[in-house]
Amino acid sequence: MSDFEPIVSFRARAAGTFPEPRDTSPPAKRTAFDRKELNIILNVYGAKVAEGEWRDYALDFESDKATFSIYRRASEMPLYRIVKDATLARRQGAYSVIAQGGLILRRGHDLAQVLRVLLGKPKLVTI
């Protein structure tokens, strides 16, 4: 009986203990961009990346806001923030574009119209 080798458990929990009960409460509701909204945002973002103006982005989701932050460099403050605020949806419009200093450039109910402020005027190129 001295050659008896115990069975080793590779699980993280100790043998004989029960796993912790899972949280059965529903997950907290968060505001997020849907696929159509992200498509519109990423089309504008892709055009500016192709021009070399923007290089990075970040997404943040909270209970009442979703934010798409746009950066020139990853180490800086965001140049622009595209915010979807559920609390303002019926009043001023859920979508807004906020500049680096906190100035609201445009706000409205239609995301495509709000993002037009980021496109600016077309640049003329001499050939």
Is 101 domain-assigned? Answer: yes
User: Is there a domain that residue 127 lies in?
Assistant: no
| Residue 21, C-beta contacts closer than 8 angstroms, at least 6 positions apart | none
Is the pLDDT at 84 greater than 80? The verdict is yes
CB 94 within 8 A of CB 88: yes
Give the pLDDT of residue 115. 93
Residue 6 lies in a domain: no
Domain with 83 in it: 35-117
Average pLDDT over residues 32-54: 91
* Structural domain includes residue 1: no
- Strands 65-71 and 104-108 come out as unpaired
Phi and psi dihedrals of 97, rounded to 5? Answer: -115, 125
pLDDT digits (tens, 9 = 90+) for 1-26: 556 665 555 555 555 666 667 766 66
- Amino acid 30: pLDDT: 77
Has residue 28 been placed in a domain? Answer: no
In a domain, 67, yes or no: yes
Residues 29-39 have pLDDT tens digits of 778 888 999 99
Higher per-residue confidence, 73 vs 103: 103
In a domain, 106, yes or no: yes
Cα dihedral: 34, 37, 41, 42 (round 10): 60
- Structural domain contains residue 68: yes
Number of domains in the chain: 1
